[in-house]
Amino acid sequence: MIRIYNTLTQQKEIFTPIEPGKVRMYVCGMTVYDYCHLGHARVLVAFDVVTRYLRNRGYDVTYVRNITDIDDKILRRAEENGEPFTDLTERMIAAMHEDEARLGVLSPSAEPRATDYIAEIIAMINTLIESDHAYATDNGDVYFSVESFEGYGKLSKKKLEDLLAGARIDVHEAKRSPADFALWKAAGEGEVSWPSPWGNGRPGWHIECSAMSNRCLGDTFDIHGGGPDLLFPHHENEIAQSECATGHTFVNTWMHAGAIRVNKEKMSKSLGNFFTIREILERYPPEVVRFFLVSSHYRSQVDYSEDNLAEAGRSLARLYHALRGIVPANSGDVPETDHDRRFVELMSDDFNCAGAISVLHALANDINQHRREGRDGEAKEAATVMIRLGAILGLLQQDPDVFFQADSGGELSAADIEAKIQARAGARKAKDFAGADRIRDELAEQGIILDDSREGTNWRRS
C-alpha cells in the first residue's frame, strides 16, 4: 500500500491507479532555451526516484515528461544568438540529456515536444471555443475564459474574486477578463508561426501540456508532477482547459517537488546565486549531487550550500566505505530482510527518501560490525541488500574504488598515486618509516587519503 501526498486534497491518500498494475504519470519538463539549473535537477531526480520505486513495487509505469521547444523565451534567446530557434532547442535538449544521464536519471517512457503536437493543440482549442470556454479575438489571439470554469482555483486554493481584484488588462491584450490566459498567440510579420483557423500563430504555454498529456496518457491519468513554481498558474490552467475540453477529471494525484534555496535565499539570477547543473558537476561528483537531492523529502525545501554538499559527500562516502573490498552475494540468493521491509515501509509513505537512506546507513553499520567479528558471509549478504536498495534511489551502483578514486581534476593521476603507494610500501619494508610517513603526508596535502589494512593499502580522494 503506497500513500502519496496529493496537492489537490492537501493530504496523503492511498494510491490506487486507474488501471490495476499500471501507472500513467506526466511531469512538466524543461523550456529549452538555456542549460538546466539546480531546480530542474531537483525535479528530475525526485520523479526519477518515484518512477524507480513504483517499478520496483511491480507497477508498469508510463512516465511522460514533455519538452517545451517553442516559447517567447526561446525565440528571444535565439534572436540574441543570431541562430534559428531549432538550433538552440536541439543544443539545449542534448545538454539536458547529458546532465540527466550524469545524475543517473533514467530516460522517460516518452518525451513529447510541443512543436510535434500543433495539430492536437489546435484541435483542443477548437473544442474549447465550441463549448464557450474560449474565445478568439479580432487580432487572432485565443483566450481561455477562466470564469467559465466553476472549479478554477481548486488546486492552488486561490479564489477567482481575489485574482480579479485590482487586476488590469494590458493595453496590448484583447481579452475579456484579467484572469483569462492565452491559448493561441497571433504571430507578427516574419515571426515563427503555424497556420490555424484564427490566423498564423503559436500555442500558449499552458495548452501545450494539456494537449500532449491527453494524447499520450488519455483524458484522465494517475499522477501529474512538477516543480513548486508550476502549481499556479500553469497547473491550475491545465486543469481548467483539460477538464473543460474533455468533460472528465484531468488528474487524480498531483505531486510537487520542493523549492531550492541557496544559502537560505531563493535561487535567482538577480541575486547571483543561480547555478546550472553542469556548473555544479564541475565541482562535485554527480552521485554526491544526486545523494544531496535525494537526502531530503521530495516535498521539502532544499538548501544548497557548500557545507551541505560536503556533508552529502561524507555521508555517501561512509556508505561506499562499508562496501569497499566486499564481493556481494548474488541478490537472488539473499532473501528479504527486515531492512528491506523497513525500506519499503518508509518509501511507501509518500516516498520518504530521507528515511530510506537511514536504512542504508543501518546496513553499513551492520556490514562494519560483521567484518569486525569476522562474519564475512553475513557482511556480503548485508552488502547485497544495501546495493539493491540503493538502486531504487539510483545510488551505490559504482564499484567503491571507482567512487573513491574518481578524478576530480587534481594533479595526480591514479597511476601517479599507485606509484607513490608502492614507493611507500618499499620504504616501510626497508624500515624507512620517516620516508613512508613523508609520502603519506605528501599525498594527504593533495587530497589523497590512504587506508591501510591487512589486505593492503587502498586510497581515496578526499
Is 269 labeled as ligand-binding?
yes
CA angle 311, 315, 318 (to 5 degrees): 140
DSSP assignment of 111-180 equals --BGGG-HHHHHHHHHHHHHTTSEEE-TTS-EEE-GGG-TTTTTTTT--HHHHHTT----TT---SSTT-
Give the C-alpha separation, 227 to 259, whole Å: 7
40 is in an annotated binding site: no
Report the distance separating Cα 197 and Cα 200, nearest Å: 8
143 closest CA partner among 207, 195, 232, 191: 207
Q: What angle do CA 452, 456, 458 make, to 5 degrees?
A: 60
12 annotated binding-site participant:
no
For residue 373, give the 3-state DSSP assignment: coil
Residue pair 460/451 in contact by the 8 Å Cβ criterion: yes
d(Cα 356, Cα 392) in Å, to the nearest integer?
Answer: 10
Dihedral sign for Cα 184, 185, 188, 192, please.
Answer: negative
Question: What gap in Å lies between CA 425 and CA 247, rounded to an integer?
Answer: 76
In terms of Cα–Cα distance, which of 210, 186, 166 is closest to 28? 210
Asked whether residue 28 is marked as a ligand-binding residue, the answer is yes
For residue 244, say whether it is annotated as part of any ligand binding site.
no
Q: Enumerate the β-bridge partners of residue 266.
A: 261
Cα separation of 75 and 188, whole Å? 13
CB atoms within 10 A of CB 224: 29
Give which of 88, 53, 232, 104 is closest to 160, Cα–Cα.
Answer: 232
**The three grid cell numbers given for residue 237, joined into one nine-digit string:** 490552467
Phi and psi (nearest 5°) for 295? -65, -20
Annotated binding site: 28, 209, 234, 238, 269
Annotated binding site for ATP: 269
Annotated binding site for Zn(2+): 28, 209, 234, 238
